[in-house]
Structure 1
Amino acid sequence: MMKASPSISRLLTRSTNRVLGASLSQPVSYPLTSLLLHSSATVPARLSTGQTLQQLAYRNGLTPRTASFSTSGPSHQEAAAVAPAPQVSPAPVADMPGVYADMAGRLDARLLKALDAMGYANMTPVQEKVLNMGSFTQDCLVQAKTGTGKTIAFLLPALHTLLNAKDLDPSQVALLILAPTRELAQQIVDECEKLVSQCNPRFECHLAVGGSAKASSLSKFLRGKPTILVATPGRLDDYLSDERVRQKFNNLRCLVLDEADCMLDQGFLPALTKILTSLPKKQQAGWQGMCFSATLPPSIHKVLHHVLAPKHAHISTVDENEAPTINSVPQSYMKVDSVDDVLPTLHNLLSAERYDNPKLKAVVFCSTARQAALLYTLFGHTGGASPAKLPVWQMQSRMNQAQRTRTTEEFKNTDSGILFASDVVGRGLDFPDIHLVIQVGIPLNSEQYVHRVGRTGRAGKGGRAVMIITPEDFWFVERNRQFPMAQSKLDHPKAAAVDSASIISQSLAKVPDQVKAQAYVAYLGFVNTMRSKMKITPAQMVQVANRYAFSLGCEEPPAIEASTIGKMGLKGVPGLIKNTGPSLRGQRNGGNRPNQSAPRGGGRDAGRDAGRDGGRDAARDVDASFFGNGPNGGAPRGGGRGRGGFGGRGRGGPGGAGGDRNSSFKKPRDDSAPPGSSGGSRNKRPRREDNRREAF
Structure 2
Amino acid sequence: MSSGFSQRGGRGGDFGDEAGFRSSRGQRGRGGRASGVSHRGGRYGDLDDEESGIGSPRGRRGRGGRTTDLSGRGRRGSDLDDEEDDSGEEVGFRSPRGRRGRGGRASGLSSRGGRGSDLDDEEDDSGEEVGFGSPRGIRGRGDRRSKGRKMSDFGSSEDDSESGEVDEDDGPSGFEDGLSGDDSGQEDFVNSAAKKSVSSESVEQETVLGTRDNGGADSYLSQRRFDECSLSPATLKGVKAAGYERMTAVQEATLPIILKGKDVLAKARTGTGKTVAFLLPAIEVVSKLPPHDHDKKRPPISVIVVCPTRELADQAAAEANKLLKFHPSIGVQLVIGGTRMALEQKRMHTNPCQILVATPGRLKDHMENTPGFATRLMGVKFLILDEADRLLDMGFRTDIERIVAALPKQRQTLLFSATVPDEVRQVCHVAMKRDLEFVNTVQEGSEETHSQVKQMHLVAPLDKQFSILYGLLTDHISENVDYKVIVFCTTAKVTSLVAELLSELKLNVREIHSRKPQSYRTRISKEFKESKGLILVSSDVSARGVDYPNVTLVLQLGVPSDREQYIHRLGRTGRKGNEGSGVLLLAPWEEYFLRSIKDLPITEATLPLIDLDTKRKVEKALAHVEVKDKESAYQAWLGYYNSNKQIGRDKYQLVSLANEFSRSLGLNNPPALTKLILKKMGLSNIPGLRSK
Identify the TM-score tier after normalising by the shorter chain. Answer: 0.5 to 0.7
Counterpart check, 1:94 vs 2:212: yes
- CA shift digits 1:666-696 (9 cap, x unpaired): xxxxxxxxxxxxxxxxxxxxxxxxxxxxxxx
Aligned position for 1:625: none
Q: Which one is further off, 169-178 or 478-487?
A: 169-178
- CA shift digits 1:69-105 (9 cap, x unpaired): xxxxxxxxxxxxxxxxxxxxxx9663642001111xx
Counterpart check, 1:124 vs 2:237: no
Counterpart check, 1:471 vs 2:585: no
Aligned position for 1:159: 283
Cα shift at 1:305: 2.6
Aligned position for 2:309: 181
- Secondary structure of the structure 1 residue equivalent to 2:564: helix
- Pair 497,547 (structure 1): closer, same or farther in 2 beyond 3 Å: closer
* Residue identity matched to 1:319: Q
Counterpart check, 1:220 vs 2:347: yes
Q: Distance in 2 between matches of 1:115 and 1:180?
A: 25
* Residue identity matched to 1:122: R
Q: Distance in 2 between matches of 1:200 and 1:266?
A: 36
* Residue identity matched to 1:99: R
Give 5+ residue unaligned stretches, structure 1.
1-7, 9-33, 36-57, 64-90, 580-696
Q: Distance in 1 between matches of 2:258 and 2:403?
A: 29
Q: Distance in 2 between matches of 1:196 and 1:148?
A: 21
Cα shift at 1:478: 1.6
- Pair 556,126 (structure 1): closer, same or farther in 2 beyond 3 Å: same
Q: Distance in 1 between matches of 2:469 and 2:369?
A: 48
Counterpart check, 1:193 vs 2:324: no
Cα shift at 1:268: 2.8
Tell me, yes or no, if the aligned pair for 1:264 and 1:303 is still in contact at 8 Å. Answer: no
Q: Distance in 2 between matches of 1:549 and 1:479?
A: 28
- Secondary structure of the structure 2 residue equivalent to 1:291: strand
Aligned position for 2:364: 237
Output the TM-score relative to the length of structure 1.
Answer: 0.65
RMSD between aligned alpha carbons? 2.6
Aligned position for 2:573: 456
Select which of 417, 420, 423 maps to 2:540: 423
- Secondary structure of the structure 2 residue equivalent to 1:123: strand
Aligned position for 2:268: 144
Pairs within 5 Å for 1:82-481: 94=212, 96-103=222-229, 106-133=230-257, 135-166=259-290, 171-201=299-329, 203-242=330-369, 244=371, 245-265=373-393, 267-277=395-405, 279-280=406-407, 285-336=409-460, 338-380=461-503, 384-385=504-505, 389-481=506-598
* Residue identity matched to 1:187: Q
Tell me, yes or no, if the aligned pair for 2:449 and 2:575 is still in contact at 8 Å. Answer: no
* Residue identity matched to 1:415: K
Aligned position for 1:527: 641
Cα shift at 1:379: 0.9
- CA shift digits 1:346-377 (9 cap, x unpaired): 11111211222233211000111111111111
Aligned position for 1:502: 616
Pairs within 5 Å for 1:603-618: none
- CA shift digits 1:624-672 (9 cap, x unpaired): xxxxxxxxxxxxxxxxxxxxxxxxxxxxxxxxxxxxxxxxxxxxxxxxx
Q: Distance in 1 between matches of 2:623 and 2:685?
A: 31
Cα shift at 1:208: 0.9
Q: Distance in 2 between matches of 1:198 and 1:226?
A: 16
Cα shift at 1:60: 5.2
Q: Distance in 2 between matches of 1:561 and 1:236?
A: 38
Cα shift at 1:267: 2.5
- Secondary structure of the structure 2 residue equivalent to 1:310: coil
* Residue identity matched to 2:670: P
Number of aligned positions between the proteins: 480
Q: Distance in 2 between matches of 1:200 and 1:361?
A: 35
Pairs within 5 Å for 1:592-611: none
* Residue identity matched to 1:271: D
Tell me, yes or no, if the aligned pair for 1:390 and 1:416 is still in contact at 8 Å. Answer: no
- Pair 571,435 (structure 1): closer, same or farther in 2 beyond 3 Å: same
- Pair 62,268 (structure 1): closer, same or farther in 2 beyond 3 Å: closer
* Residue identity matched to 1:515: D
Tell me, yes or no, if the aligned pair for 2:308 and 2:391 is still in contact at 8 Å. Answer: yes
Aligned position for 1:676: none
Q: Which one is further off, 162-171 or 252-261?
A: 162-171
Counterpart check, 1:559 vs 2:682: no
- Secondary structure of the structure 2 residue equivalent to 1:98: strand
Mark the structure with the bigger radius of gyration: 1
- Secondary structure of the structure 2 residue equivalent to 1:300: helix
* Residue identity matched to 1:507: A
- Pair 273,568 (structure 1): closer, same or farther in 2 beyond 3 Å: farther
Cα shift at 1:340: 1.3
Cα shift at 1:294: 2.5
Cα shift at 1:242: 1.0
* Residue identity matched to 1:233: P
- Pair 61,514 (structure 1): closer, same or farther in 2 beyond 3 Å: closer
Cα shift at 1:215: 2.1
- Pair 326,205 (structure 1): closer, same or farther in 2 beyond 3 Å: same
- Pair 207,501 (structure 1): closer, same or farther in 2 beyond 3 Å: same
Cα shift at 1:523: 1.1
- Pair 397,353 (structure 1): closer, same or farther in 2 beyond 3 Å: same
* Residue identity matched to 2:369: D
Higher relative contact order (CA 8 A, sep 6+): 2
Pairs within 5 Å for 1:35-74: none
Q: Distance in 1 between matches of 2:539 and 2:394?
A: 21
- CA shift digits 1:133-185 (9 cap, x unpaired): 16443211112222111100000111111111237685322111111221111
Q: Distance in 2 between matches of 1:360 and 1:134?
A: 39
Cα shift at 1:274: 4.1
- Pair 565,276 (structure 1): closer, same or farther in 2 beyond 3 Å: farther
- CA shift digits 1:103-151 (9 cap, x unpaired): 1xx2122111111112211111111111121644321111222211110
- CA shift digits 1:296-346 (9 cap, x unpaired): 34553343333333332111222212132211111110011x211211111
Q: Distance in 1 between matches of 2:364 and 2:652?
A: 40
Q: Which one is further off, 416-425 or 439-448?
A: 439-448
Tell me, yes or no, if the aligned pair for 1:363 and 1:436 is still in contact at 8 Å. Answer: yes
Give 5+ residue unaligned stretches, structure 2.
4-30, 37-208, 214-221
Tell me, yes or no, if the aligned pair for 1:143 and 1:316 is still in contact at 8 Å. Answer: yes
Tell me, yes or no, if the aligned pair for 2:648 and 2:654 is still in contact at 8 Å. Answer: no
Tell me, yes or no, if the aligned pair for 2:452 and 2:580 is still in contact at 8 Å. Answer: no
- Pair 490,351 (structure 1): closer, same or farther in 2 beyond 3 Å: farther
* Residue identity matched to 1:564: I
- Secondary structure of the structure 2 residue equivalent to 1:520: helix
- Secondary structure of the structure 1 residue equivalent to 2:498: helix
Q: Distance in 1 between matches of 2:681 and 2:360?
A: 27
Tell me, yes or no, if the aligned pair for 1:349 and 1:490 is still in contact at 8 Å. Answer: no
Tell me, yes or no, if the aligned pair for 2:238 and 2:324 is still in contact at 8 Å. Answer: yes
- Pair 286,561 (structure 1): closer, same or farther in 2 beyond 3 Å: farther
- Secondary structure of the structure 2 residue equivalent to 1:486: strand
Select which of 568, 584, 597 maps to 2:681: 568
Q: Distance in 1 between matches of 2:433 and 2:672?
A: 54
Tell me, yes or no, if the aligned pair for 1:137 and 1:158 is still in contact at 8 Å. Answer: no
Q: Distance in 2 between matches of 1:210 and 1:227?
A: 20
Q: Distance in 1 between matches of 2:634 and 2:323?
A: 46
Tell me, yes or no, if the aligned pair for 1:427 and 1:451 is still in contact at 8 Å. Answer: yes
